[in-house]
A and B are shown apart, each in its own frame.
Chain A
Amino acid sequence: MKKFVTGVIGSAALALSVTSGSAATLDDVKAKGFVQCGVHTGLAGFAAPDDQGNWKGFDSDFCKAVAAAIFGDPEKVKFTPTNATERFTALQSGEIDLLARNTTWTLSRDTSLGFNFTGVNYYDGQGFMINAAKLPGINSALQLSGAAVCVQTGTTTELNLADYFRANNMEYNPVVFQGFDETNAAYEAGRCDAYTTDQSGLYALRLTLANPDDHVVLPEIISKEPLGPLVRQGDDQWFDIVKWTLFALVQAEELGITQANVEEMKGSDNPEIKRILGQEADSKIGDMLGLDNDWVVKVVAGVGNYGEMFERNIGQESPLKIARGLNQLWTKGGIQYAPPLR
């Protein structure tokens, strides 16, 4: 049934993409004066409201970066909270210009749904958490045979779980729930031995547990979840702008350009820094995208570089304290890598 629904939505979306893709999104965005950005309805660290109701998070900051690249003002963005099903129709129907909602990059989404993924802003993966006080001696997911596992239904998580246990010839009892809250409550109440979801979700869960020190995340990562922003197919200029905004954030971190020192860096002698910041005499770094030549300056001044965004929202400066891991720069052991901006 789920497949059928997805198929119907997919084919309807495909039929529509022919008509909706041709418009120049950049011109539309400039005309209305803001970027309409689809985000999660609420995911700790990625998109959640703060005390004043402003969107704060890693994904919502990326939307702000795109707004800064176009308008020079990171606040010229409006957020549309979307849930797992309506996120794709919202983008397809033109209700939003850009979707940054921790969406896993898959082949079918990139092709038959009619989207283009602009890169990976967060490499996630599915993991397990267990209550070590209850289950001493378990230090690998391979020892979980026969365990009751709490999982959210209707997600790729549930499918990955089934694949993993089948591939390793292990038995398990899935304990499925509809939402994040219910799943957390069931795990906390001890209705299952292990909890599985994306690792970023496990860190968010730890914040709500009564005895977080009793719970350990097992080392196995059982799936690849490259999460990235996406746009509609058919407008290559807009695709390029969003894609290179992401690369610019990563490149700025690699070159040591931060929110604090970006103005100072404009006077740097390093040719690469001069080039990315548009300080060369005949710079075309922005013209090629249809933006101002100092667009990278505006992005970094607006939201900081990739590392600053990470640490502020989900890293050590946030309550989540997620380690950089795969999301470290390629020069520091991770796989975040940007092609040259030239």
Chain B
Amino acid sequence: MQQADLSYVRTEMLAPQPAPNRERGFGAWLRANLFASPIDTVLTLLGLFLVVWFVPNFLRWAFIDAVWSGPDRSVCATIPQGGIQPEGWSGACWAFVNAKFAQFMYGRYTFSERWRVDLTAIMFVLLMVPLLMPRAPYKGLNALLFFVVFPIVAFFLLVGGYFGLRYVPTSEWGGLLVTMVLSFVGIAISLPLGIILALGRRSKMPAIKLVCVIFIEVVRGVPLVTVLFMASVMLPLFMPAGVTFDRFLRALVGVSLFASAYMAEVVRGGLQAIPKGQYEGAESLGLSYWQKMILIVLPQALKLVIPGIVNTFIGLFKDTSLVYIIGMFDLLGIVRQNFTDAAWASAQTPMSGLVFAGAVFWIFCFGMSRYSIWMERRLDTGHRR
């Protein structure tokens, strides 16, 4: 049978037709994504209502009606409140944030010595950025500078007392400086310590295993607030008179140990996800324990738990606010402390300060989160499900 005989079969392909009108364009997208079912419709309308209700008011409060600069509370208070704004006015008091900005960054760090904090911050950024970029060269040297040389230099720069630098006691530190130092030290200590604890917990040597299990379970089982509180209220009573531990040191130790215990469990999760074949394969090659772990197991395990690790880092970054308990003031602490300055007390001050603090925390946490997602994709060498 020849094709030509089949007169009911087309000889050429039909030109593609555009999709029906109701299946394309903006209307179809709306129907498919927002109004697909009655429940979707209700949710969409509810969401739309919330956005319309909240966003314009917020924008109006935060930008249009906001006060950007001024000498004291009078610019942020209405006439009945003792200020200059018309009655019924409501807007953000960025003038408060503006006036206190240096304090939010440095705390009470001696004014003439603040260049030292700036210099440390610049060194931190200059060393960290190439370290985070996989393509940048000299990774080994960079890591050495960042993890060994930088902390030592930063310690002498920030604390001072040597090389003609004025001593600045940690009780004068505050604001973002404290938040950054606490979280950086916490992160830098907790990751290696957490890995060691996780390996220890999976060790076949009973003594090491027991020590690691006890440490992890005790530290994880006690709230950080309790430990900081004990360190600040009870510890001084057990010391001989006049002997006091630096409060900042207490916080550093507490926060780092805490993060380590959480990190250990995250890493252990990764170790357990590695198939037994990987361990056995490494052993059959004649690798020692440390070679096996460093070359074969940990690279795979850590890659698996990047979300968990970053989750712990973000948690740690925000937990630094708890040092408020021991009379240290991180970013949030110093913002809240400044609400008590009578020169700035107004109905708008607390909200403005908290929005500012929230925004700063969000920028850092969001940055960490995006970097970790990017890193995860880059290291994704298979196993995709």
Q: Given the complex of chains A and B, what is the CA–CA distance between A136 and B165 in angstroms? A: 63
Contact status B103-A53, CB under 8 Å: yes
Contact status A207-B345, CB under 8 Å: yes
* Contact status of A319 and B337, CB under 8 A, knowing A41-B327, A53-B103, A212-B82: no
Contact status B111-A52, CB under 8 Å: yes
Contact status B342-A78, CB under 8 Å: no
| A42 part of interface (Cβ distance < 8 Å) | yes
Determine which of A41, A52, A94, A209 lies in contact with B241 in the assembled complex, contact meaning CB atoms within 8 Å: A94
Extra contacts, 14 of them, besides A19-B240, A85-B233, A207-B345 (Cβ < 8 A), are A13-B237, A23-B242, A41-B327, A44-B340, A48-B341, A49-B103, A49-B108, A51-B343, A56-B341, A85-B229, A93-B241, A94-B244, A210-B78, A319-B342
* Contact status of A181 and B81, CB under 8 A, knowing A44-B341, A49-B341, A95-B244: no
A83 CB contacts on chain B under 8 angstroms: 325, 327
Chain B nearest CB, measured from A172 CB (Å)? 27
Contact status A78-B237, CB under 8 Å: no
Q: Encode A72-86 as 1/0 by CB contact (under 8 A) with B.
A: 000000101111011
A89 CB contacts on chain B under 8 angstroms: 232-234, 236-237
B80, B99, B326, B337 — which one has the most chain A CB atoms within 10 A of its CB?
Answer: B337
A-B contact pairs, 29 of them (CB 8 A): A9-B234, A9-B237, A12-B237, A42-B340, A42-B341, A44-B341, A45-B342, A48-B342, A49-B338, A52-B111, A53-B174, A78-B171, A80-B327, A81-B329, A82-B327, A89-B232, A89-B236, A93-B236, A93-B242, A181-B350, A204-B342, A207-B346, A208-B346, A208-B350, A210-B347, A318-B342, A319-B72, A319-B82, A319-B342
Contact status A93-B237, CB under 8 Å: yes
Determine which of B100, B107, B108, B339 lies in contact with A42 in the assembled complex, contact meaning CB atoms within 8 Å: B339
Determine which of A16, A19, A50, A53 lies in contact with B343 in the assembled complex, contact meaning CB atoms within 8 Å: A50
| B239 part of interface (Cβ distance < 8 Å) | yes
Q: Given the complex of chains A and B, what is the CA–CA distance between A49 and B233 in angstroms? A: 24
Q: Given the complex of chains A and B, what is the CA–CA distance between A183 and B347 in angstroms? A: 14
| A130 part of interface (Cβ distance < 8 Å) | no
Q: Encode A91-125 as 1/0 by CB contact (under 8 A) with B.
A: 01111000000000000000000000000000000
Q: Encode B333-367 as 1/0 by CB contact (under 8 A) with A.
A: 01011111111011101100000000000000000
| B268 part of interface (Cβ distance < 8 Å) | no
Q: Given the complex of chains A and B, what is the CA–CA distance between A83 and B340 in angstroms? A: 14
For chain B, the count of residues having a C-beta within 8 Å of the partner chain is 46
Q: Encode B212-250 as 1/0 by CB contact (under 8 A) with A.
A: 000000000000000001001110110111101000000
Contact status B242-A213, CB under 8 Å: no
Q: Closest residue of chain B to A205, judged by CB?
A: B345
Contact status A49-B237, CB under 8 Å: no
The 5 closest A-B pairs by CB, nearest first: A93-B236, A20-B241, A42-B340, A207-B345, A42-B337
Contact status B339-A181, CB under 8 Å: yes
* Contact status of A319 and B241, CB under 8 A, knowing A42-B337, A51-B103, A86-B327: no
Interface residues of B (CB under 8 A from A): 72-73, 78, 80-82, 99-100, 102-103, 106-108, 111, 169, 171, 174, 229, 232-234, 236-237, 239-242, 244, 325-327, 329, 334, 336-343, 345-347, 349-350
Contact status A212-B108, CB under 8 Å: no
B236 CB contacts on chain A under 8 angstroms: 89-90, 92-93, 95
A207 CB contacts on chain B under 8 angstroms: 73, 81-82, 342, 345-346
| A320 part of interface (Cβ distance < 8 Å) | yes
| A43 part of interface (Cβ distance < 8 Å) | yes
Chain B nearest CB, measured from A43 CB (Å)? 6
Contact status A16-B241, CB under 8 Å: yes
Q: Closest residue of chain A to B72, judged by CB?
A: A319
Q: Closest residue of chain A to B242, judged by CB?
A: A94
| A211 part of interface (Cβ distance < 8 Å) | yes
Q: Closest residue of chain A to B240, judged by CB?
A: A19
B100, B241, B327, B342 — which one has the most chain A CB atoms within 10 A of its CB?
Answer: B342
Q: Given the complex of chains A and B, what is the CA–CA distance between A303 and B82 in angstroms? A: 28
Contact status B342-A49, CB under 8 Å: no
Contact status A23-B342, CB under 8 Å: no
Q: Given the complex of chains A and B, what is the CA–CA distance between A51 and B343 in angstroms? A: 9
B325 CB contacts on chain A under 8 angstroms: 83
Contact status B237-A204, CB under 8 Å: no
Q: Closest residue of chain B to A8, judged by CB?
A: B234
Contact status A41-B232, CB under 8 Å: no
Determine which of B80, B99, B241, B350 lies in contact with A212 in the assembled complex, contact meaning CB atoms within 8 Å: B80
